[in-house]
């Protein structure tokens, strides 16, 4: 049987695959930007949740201190994630501004969580994520990584 088409079968396939490849590459390229933005939002969201969990533990320590006498000692172990969305992060406890600042490495994002506790370290402290130990004794608060 004789074909009446103007192009060969081979060219037809090459064109089809080329177009499909271009379309797919364009979709992936666009998706990449969307995914990056989503990762950024995910990092911020996780750091906010982590910061609020840590702030809640400070509030717990504050409550225990106020419920006790002058010789009260408190030691609370806080289990925070080591990473957020696959990246490490650093927590800054700022008693002057009464806030926690969490800063991730890659992507570089910073979130701030207010601290409502009256029982805070006397100076600014920087710790990495993971297991933290909050200790109170003789009106002094220490935060260390375990």
Partner 1 sequence: MANVNPPPRERAQLILVSGLIIAVTLIVLVLLLNTTIYTENVATRGIGAEGGEAVNAKLSIEGDIESIVSKEESALEDNPGDDVADLKYRIETAADHTIQFVGDRARERGAIVEGDPEFTYGIDVERDDKEQVSTSATLAREVQHIESFSLDLSVTDTGSSDPTDSFEILLGDDWSAFVEADADGDVTVYDDQPTELCTISGADGSVTLNVTNEEMSADGSTVACEGLWDAGVDGPSELSVAPNEDEDAETAFAFVATGTTIEGGDDLDPEEWTPFVDETEIEFAYRSGSMEYRTTITIPGGAP
Sites of contact with partner 1 (CB under 8 A): 16, 20, 23-24, 27-28, 31, 34-35, 38-39, 41-42, 45-46, 49-50, 52-53, 56-57, 59-61, 63-64, 67-79, 81, 85
Kindly report the number of other CB atoms within 10 A of residue 130's CB atom.
Answer: 16
CB of 9 vs partner 1, minimal distance in Å: 9
Residue whose token pair is 């000692």: 73
Give the integer Cα–Cα distance in Å for 85 and 41: 10
CB of 94 vs partner 1, minimal distance in Å: 20
Residue whose token pair is 């002058």: 70
For residues 11 and 35, which CB has a smaller minimum distance to partner 1 in the complex?
Answer: 35
Give the integer Cα–Cα distance in Å for 117 and 141: 12
CB of 11 vs partner 1, minimal distance in Å: 14
Hey, is 42 helix, strand or coil?
helix
For residues 106 and 124, which CB has a smaller minimum distance to partner 1 in the complex?
Answer: 106
CB of 72 vs partner 1, minimal distance in Å: 4
Q: What's the chain's length in residues? A: 146
């Amino acid at each position: 049987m004789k074909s009446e088409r103007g192009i060969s079968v081979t060219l037809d396939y090459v064109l089809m695959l080329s177009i499909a490849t271009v379309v797919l590459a364009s979709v992936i390229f666009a998706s990449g930007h969307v995914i990056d933005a989503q990762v950024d939002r995910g990092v911020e969201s996780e750091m906010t949740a982590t910061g609020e969990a840590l702030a809640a533990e400070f509030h717990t320590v504050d409550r225990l201190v106020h419920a006790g006498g002058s010789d009260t000692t408190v030691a609370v172990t806080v289990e925070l994630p080591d990473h957020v969305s696959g990246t490490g992060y650093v927590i800054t406890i700022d008693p002057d501004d009464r806030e926690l600042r969490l800063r991730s490495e890659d992507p570089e994002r910073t979130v701030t969580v207010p601290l409502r506790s009256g029982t805070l370290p006397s100076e600014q402290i920087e710790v990495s994520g993971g297991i933290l130990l909050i200790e109170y004794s003789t009106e002094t608060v220490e935060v260390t990584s375990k």
